[in-house]
């Protein structure tokens, strides 16, 4: 007897489910000037902010230390170059209106008293620009003087169902890169891999799932045992022999 299981459409970079999206939107709508986001899921955070900006009809920008300020909508890109840390903070305070700013490489500057003062000035003048600053990093230590103006946000870790979706998506991508070959495994190995990925972020789970597929297109885990059901993972479906 065989069954078919559809590959999850919410794998890896698309794990922005409604609950965390609504939570982050609620924080932003609460008019909290600063949001500390502890996460290494930068692409997902950026996607969520893009969605929230569209819902709020607000402008949205991302800043990195290498590229400077980039508007999500090219039509909103400032005419002047905004690259340095002090430039982005000055721009937010003096030139922004009803905007969301995602700062991706800003955590080292939280130890700089001058930049901390600039952030505090942005927070204190929020009612003149109504812009929210989201500071994103794998780890953040917010200075005490900024804590009254800062909300904290963390993405929940993927559920087992979402982790299974990540594995299936990675397997489908492997097949696409290898002449549409199927990834071979067993029910037991697949489920053990999913359990082993528990507690990891989506990015880490995706990376380790990719490593679990060997050059021959088979998923192998030590001490996984054997299983009568051989699974062939291909494209969007899994034919599983039970």
User: What is the per-residue pLDDT for 195?
Assistant: 85
User: What is the per-residue pLDDT for 148?
Assistant: 96
User: What is the per-residue pLDDT for 221?
Assistant: 58
The pLDDT profile of the chain, 242 residues, written as one tens digit per residue, is 232 323 333 333 333 445 889 999 999 999 999 999 999 889 889 999 999 999 999 999 999 999 999 999 999 999 999 999 999 999 999 999 999 999 999 999 999 999 999 999 999 999 999 999 999 998 899 999 999 999 999 887 777 888 888 888 888 887 778 777 777 777 788 888 888 888 877 778 878 888 888 766 677 655 444 444 444 444 333 333 32
Q: Is the dihedral of CA 9, 15, 18, 19 positive or negative?
A: positive
Whether pTM > 0.85 for this model: the answer is: no
Which residues make Cβ contacts (< 8 Å) with residue 191, sequence separation at least 6? none
User: What is the per-residue pLDDT for 27?
Assistant: 96
User: What is the per-residue pLDDT for 212?
Assistant: 82
Rounded distance, CA 143 to CA 111, Å? 8
User: What is the per-residue pLDDT for 91?
Assistant: 97
User: What is the per-residue pLDDT for 178?
Assistant: 76
Residue carrying structure tokens 């986001």: 37
Locate the domains of the chain by residue range.
Answer: 2-13+158-241, 31-153
Q: Could you say which of 3.30.420.40, 3.40.47.10, 3.40.50.300, 1.10.3720.10 is the CATH number of the domain covering 31-153?
A: 3.40.50.300
Listed in sequence order, the DSSP H helices in 158-217 are: 160-177, 187-196, 202-211
User: What is the per-residue pLDDT for 18?
Assistant: 56
């Amino acid at each position: 007897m065989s069954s078919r299981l559809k590959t999850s459409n919410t794998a890896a970079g698309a794990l922005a489910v409604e609950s965390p999206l609504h939570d982050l939107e609620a924080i932003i709508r609460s008019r909290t000037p600063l949001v500390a986001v502890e996460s290494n899921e930068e692409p997902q955070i950026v996607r969520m902010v893009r969605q929230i900006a569209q819902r709020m009809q607000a402008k949205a920008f991302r800043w990195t230390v290498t590229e400077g300020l980039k508007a999500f909508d090219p039509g909103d890109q400032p005419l002047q170059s905004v690259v340095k840390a002090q430039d982005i903070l000055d721009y937010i305070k003096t030139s922004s209106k009803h905007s969301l700013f995602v700062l991706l490489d800003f955590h080292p500057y939280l130890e700089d008293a001058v930049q901390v003062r600039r952030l505090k000035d942005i927070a204190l003048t929020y009612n003149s620009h109504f812009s929210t600053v989201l500071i994103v990093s794998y780890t953040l230590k917010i200075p005490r003087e900024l804590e009254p103006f800062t909300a904290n946000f963390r993405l929940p870790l993927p559920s087992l169902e979402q982790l299974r979706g990540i594995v299936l998506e990675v397997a489908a991508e492997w097949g696409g890169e290898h002449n549409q070959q199927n990834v071979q495994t067993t029910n037991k190995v697949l489920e053990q891999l999913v359990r082993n990925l528990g507690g990891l972020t989506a990015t880490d789970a995706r990376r380790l799932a990719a490593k679990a597929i060997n050059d021959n297109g088979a998923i192998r885990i030590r001490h996984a045992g054997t299983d009568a059901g051989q699974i062939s993972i291909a494209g969007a479906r899994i034919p599983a022999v039970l």
